[in-house]
Amino acid sequence: MQTPEHFTLKQVAESIRKTIAERYARTYWVTAEMHKLNATRKGHCYPELVQKEDGQIVVEMRGTIWKQQFERIQQRFSNIVKEPLRDGMELLFQVKITYHPLYNIGLEIIDIDPNYTLGALQRERQETLERLNKEGILNANQDVEMTLFPKRLAILSQADSKGYSDFVTLLNGHPKRYHFDTFLFEATLQGDAAIRSIQDQLKRIQKVQHHFDAVVIIRGGGGEIGMHCYNNYELAKAIATFPLPVLTGIGHSTNLTVCEMIAYRNGITPSDMAYFLLSIAEELDAPLDQYTLQLPAFCAKLFTQTKHQFKQSVVHFQQEVRNALQEAKFTFNRQIHLFELTTKQGLQQVKEELNINRNKLRSTSESLLERNQMTVKQSVSYLHIHTKNQVEKQTISLQQQEVNLLKTLPGYFTQQQNALTQHERTIQLMDPLHLLNRGYAIVQNEKGVLSASNQAQKGDTLQIQTAQQQLAATVIETKTTKR
């Protein structure tokens, strides 16, 4: 059997190489996703280029970027896009189709158009904005009510970040030493890893959101590299729907990212965000400065008014004491007069009753004498004696009552006079001027008279009122006395 015409595998490979070299002699612009960059230590790159449909890879080819080309492409791409080439980017490649007997067909990458990538990033940004707007959450975080003075801050940053250091230094370095409570939640803040890292930390903060007034995302240094993550829909949605105000200071100079646009407040740099928070404190503090300047004049005016009111109160009190004393004397004299009248009336009544009884007795005696003269005659001696004894007895009793009454009245008058004198002394002892003359003093601070509920503190200025002077003193030391 005759052997058919045949070729070696090398001949076939060479034929394929020549055919491809002749057919695809020029370069082409091709869009593809750079699935993996595959950079080597020698500086060459062998990226895996793919095309996806419905999330599935339908075409995959091997690419080659030689070291000299890669350095030029990377430099130009970073200058325009503001971030380096990375896995997963959709790119527009200028390629030359090649065939190698060992590595099969592939694409030699001559150049990459950075403007196409910018357009892709812009499309992602616009799509995220449209999707958030369609869902009605584009301005959701900006509608969250922030407390009057946000001082409890949950900070998303890296502990060694210069931006974080500058932010905290500015907050704590204000001349008036405003106090902010900051708690760091460390997160990756650039590249694809930042999306999941920031989302995870936001979930942690949401569990303890009652401890914070706002969330601050701080990113300093690193330039524009890795900013594409802030256009991601999932991250933007997490910020837009967060229950606390989210403040951003992620430090870059290009167009605002979606996360910055939908945040409650955006600062160009971490320092700018710190100045914003300090401005809130300064605005609240401004009236206090004004009141501080007005306080000395107000205190002086208040002290003058209080002094005048005190003097008026002393005069009024003295007048009230005199009026009360005069009224007490008048009441006492009236009671004495009424007692004398009552005593006289009682004595007169007793005398009148005695006279009536005498008259009745005489009338009765005469009547009986007329009715029974014989009986009267027999009893006249007895009646005379009995009548005489009764008169003497009543007279003695009346005299004794009069003597007792005359003895009792002076003592009663003296007792009432002593009581009145004692009341007068008590009232005089209650006079504040009398207490001041005995060496006592009235001590006041800015809250009023010192007492158990208003005690002097070290450094307080005290006003001391004595009988003859008004003194000002400063508290150097305080000690609590035990009772």
Alpha carbons 114 and 93: distance in angstroms, whole number: 10
Q: What's the predicted TM-score (pTM) here?
A: 0.47
Q: Residue 232 in contact with residue 205, Cβ under 8 Å?
A: no
CA nearest 270: which of 254, 246, 251?
251
Give percent of the chain with pLDDT exceeding 90.
23
Please report which helix (H) or strand (E) contains residue 425, including its range: helix 373-429
The domain locations on the chain are 9-112, 136-268, 293-428, 431-450+457-474
Alpha carbons 348 and 367: distance in angstroms, whole number: 28
Long-range contacts of 54-60 (CB under 8 A, 24+ apart): 60/35
Alpha carbons 445 and 259: distance in angstroms, whole number: 54
Give me the pLDDT at residue 46, please: 92
Structure tokens at 261: 């646009």
- Exposed, middle or buried, 246 (CB in 10 Å: 0-12/13-18/19+)? buried
Give me the pLDDT at residue 239, please: 95
Alpha carbons 142 and 261: distance in angstroms, whole number: 10
Query: Has residue 223 got a pLDDT over 70?
Result: no
Q: Residue 33 in contact with residue 50, Cβ under 8 Å?
A: yes
Higher pLDDT, 433 or 210: 210
> pLDDT for 234-282, tens place per residue?
999 999 999 999 999 887 655 678 898 899 999 888 988 999 999 998 8
CATH code 2.40.50.140 for 9-112: yes
- Pick from 158-162, 227-231, 239-243, 316-320 the range whose average pLDDT is largest: 239-243
Burial 425-450 (b: 16+ CB within 10 A, else e): eeeeeeebeeeeeeeeeeebbeeeee
Burial 275-287 (b: 16+ CB within 10 A, else e): bbbbebbeeebee
Residue 133, Cα to own-chain centre: how many angstroms? 35
> What's the mean pLDDT when you consider all of the chain?
85
> pLDDT for 340-361, tens place per residue?
888 888 889 888 888 888 888 8
Residues with Cβ within 8 Å of residue 361, at least 6 apart in sequence: 387
| C-alpha count within 13 angstroms, C-beta hemisphere, residue 429 | 6
Mean pLDDT of 76-85: 79
- Cα torsion at 105, 73, 80, 269 (round to 10°)? 110
Give me the pLDDT at residue 297, please: 77
DSSP lists the bridge partners of residue 29 as 94
Query: Has residue 221 got a pLDDT over 60?
Result: no
> pLDDT for 385-433, tens place per residue?
877 888 888 888 888 887 887 788 788 788 888 888 888 887 777 767 7
Give me the pLDDT at residue 375, please: 66
Give me the pLDDT at residue 162, please: 87
Mean pLDDT of 368-372: 73
Confidence band of 154 (pLDDT split at 50, 70, 90): very high
Residue 412, Cα to own-chain centre: how many angstroms? 70
Collapsing DSSP to helix, strand or coil, 44 comes out as coil
DSSP lists the bridge partners of residue 461 as 474
Structure tokens at 40: 């080597």
Alpha carbons 230 and 235: distance in angstroms, whole number: 7
Angle at 89 between CA 85 and CA 95, to 5 degrees: 75
> pLDDT for 184-203, tens place per residue?
999 998 877 889 999 999 99
Question: 136-268 — its CATH code?
Answer: 3.40.50.2300
Query: Has residue 111 got a pLDDT over 70?
Result: yes
Kindly list the distances between the CA atom of residue 251 and the CA atoms of 69, 161, 254, 333, 481, in Å, as whole numbers in the listed order: 31, 12, 10, 95, 60
Give percent of the chain with pLDDT exceeding 70.
94
Confidence band of 226 (pLDDT split at 50, 70, 90): low
Residue 156, Cα to own-chain centre: how many angstroms? 24
Give me the pLDDT at residue 5, please: 81
Query: Has residue 378 got a pLDDT over 70?
Result: no
Give me the pLDDT at residue 482, please: 67
Q: What are phi and psi of 54, to 5 degrees?
A: 55, 35
What DSSP letter does each residue of 388-420 carry, written as one string? HHHHHHHHHHHHHHHHHHHHHHHHHHHHHHHHH
Q: Which of 14-18, 284-288, 355-359 has the lowest mean pLDDT?
A: 284-288
Higher pLDDT, 373 or 407: 407
Where would I find the beta strands (DSSP E) of 24-141? 28-36, 48-53, 56-64, 89-100, 104-112
Query: Has residue 1 got a pLDDT over 70?
Result: no
Alpha carbons 236 and 239: distance in angstroms, whole number: 5
Alpha carbons 174 and 167: distance in angstroms, whole number: 12
Give me the pLDDT at residue 119, please: 67
Give me the pLDDT at residue 255, please: 64
Mean pLDDT of 297-322: 87
Query: Has residue 371 got a pLDDT over 80?
Result: no
Q: Residue 153 in contact with residue 216, Cβ under 8 Å?
A: yes
Confidence band of 141 (pLDDT split at 50, 70, 90): very high
DSSP lists the bridge partners of residue 399 as none
Q: Residue 92 in contact with residue 77, Cβ under 8 Å?
A: no
